Structure 1
Amino acid sequence: MPRSYASAVLNAPADRVWAYLRDFGNLAEWMPGVETVAIEDGGPADRIGCVRRVIGPNGTVFRERLAGLDDAGSSYWYDTLEAPLPIRGARGRLRVAPVTDTDQAFVEWWSDFSADAGDEEAMEKTLRTAIYAIGLGALRRRFG
C-alpha cells in the first residue's frame, strides 16, 4: 500500500499547534483551496465518526470520517470516503510533536491508500505536494 508523506517544523509550541489542529472542522481556515468545510450531522468536530464535507476548487468534494483522535499523542486519523482522485481505502493522519530544544512543533501529515498500479506514483506525488505540503506551508505561515 503506497504512503504519501510530508512534514514541517512550525515556529510555535506543539501544544498551541495541536490545540488549533485538533479541530477536524477548521480545515477551511488554514488549507489553501478549501472553500468550505461542514460537519455533516452538525455535531462536534472532535467526535469519532463525524464526517466532514470539504468543498475545494471548482466544487470538488472530499468526504472524510474522523476515525481516531489522540490528545495525548497529538494526532488524529481519518478515512477518506469520497474524493475526486483515483484512490481507495485512504487513511490520513495528522500528528504534532514537540521539537524540544527549540520549543517548535514538528507536524507530519500522511496517508496510506490504494490505487491502480498506473495511478500509484502520481497519487503519491499529488497528495504529498498538492495537498500535504501546501497545507503545511500554510500552517508555517499562520504560526509565523
Structure 2
Amino acid sequence: MPTFVMSKLLVACHVSKHERHGTPSILTCPLPAQPILDFYQRRLFSVMERNSPPAPPKWEGKVSARLNGAVADQIWPLFKDFFNFHEWFPGLATSYGIHGTNGEPGCIRYCAGFSIPSDSGDDSVSWSNERLISVDDDSRSLSYEIVDCNIGFESYVATVTIVPQGDEGQAGCVIEWSFTVDPVEGWVRDDLVGRYEVGLQRMAQRMEDALRVGMERDG
C-alpha cells in the first residue's frame, strides 16, 4: 500500500494503552477503512493513467487482387477451407487444424513457413496460431485473429471478402484482404502492406491456375 495511504488510515485510528499491561494497541478505526482505501486507490490510478504515454495507433492495411478467370463462388470455398491455407499462400509451408471443425467459427489453425520472418531474427521457421472469428456465406467474407505467434504480431485481426464482378458475378471477382495490428517492431507499415500485396497477387494467380487446370481436365 502507498505510504501516504497508510498514513491517512493510521491518523483516523485511536491509539491507547492497555490498562493491565501498559502495552500500546491499535483499536478499531472509527472511520470505515475500506472506503478510504478505495478513494486513494482511485486517486493513484487516475494519476498513473494521466502520466502514461498514449498507446500508438494500430496499423491498418488493405490489399486486393482481381481474378478474371474465376468467379466468386469458385474462390470462396478455397478460403473457407480454413485449415488448408498453405495450398494457396506462397511461403507458407504448412497449415493444419489444431482445434475445432474446419471452416466453423472458433476453429484454430497452425501456420508455419517463411512468408513473415520470425522475431528471433534467425532462420527459424515462422509460425502462428490463427482463430476463425466469423464466417458469412452470403457476403463471402470471413475474419480471423492471431492468438499466438513468433512473428511479433499483437492484436492482429484480418478480414477476407470475395467480391463478385460484372452482371450476376460472371466477370470474375476481387479478393479483398484487410487487417489491423499493433505496430510491429522491426517493420515499417508500408513494407508490411507491400508484403501482403505480393503474397495476395501470387495466391490469386495460383488459385486461378488451379481452377483452370481442373476445368481443362474435367472438360
The interval holding the TM-score normalised by the smaller chain is 0.7 to 0.9
Counterpart of 1:137 in structure 2 is 202
Counterpart of 1:108 in structure 2 is 176
Equivalent residues in 2 for 1:56-71 (5 A)?
A: 56-57=113-114, 58-71=124-137
Kept in 2, the 8 Å contact 1:2–1:120? The answer is no
3-state SS in 2 of match to 1:136: helix
Gaps of 5+ in 1: none
Deviation string 1:91-127 (CA, Å, 9 cap, x unpaired) is 01111011115621111111011126xx49614522x
RMSD: 2.1
Q: Which of 56, 59, 77 is the equivalent residue of 1:2? A: 59
TM-score (norm 2): 0.58
Q: What amino acid is aligned across from residue 106 of structure 1 in structure 2?
A: V
Counterpart of 1:72 in structure 2 is 138
Dislocated runs of 4+, deviation >4 Å: none
Equivalent residues in 2 for 1:3-22 (5 A)?
A: 3-11=60-68, 12-22=70-80
Task: Determine which structure has the larger strand proportion and give its number.
Answer: 1
Distance 1:124 1:132 in 2: 10
Gaps of 5+ in 2: 1-57, 115-123, 210-219
Distance 1:5 1:141 in 2: 20
Counterpart of 1:88 in structure 2 is 154
Higher RCO, 1 vs 2 (CA within 8 Å, ≥6 residues apart): 1
TM-score (norm 1): 0.85
Kept in 2, the 8 Å contact 1:7–1:133? The answer is no
Higher CA-based Rg: 2
Q: What amino acid is aligned across from residue 140 of structure 2 in structure 1?
A: S
3-state SS in 2 of match to 1:18: helix
Structure 1 position 60, deviation (Å): 1.2
75-84 vs 47-56, which deviates more? 75-84
Structure 1 position 132, deviation (Å): 4.5
101-110 vs 47-56, which deviates more? 101-110
Task: Determine which structure has the larger helix proportion and give its number.
Answer: 2
Q: What percent of counterpart residues are identical?
A: 24
Counterpart of 2:98 in structure 1 is 40
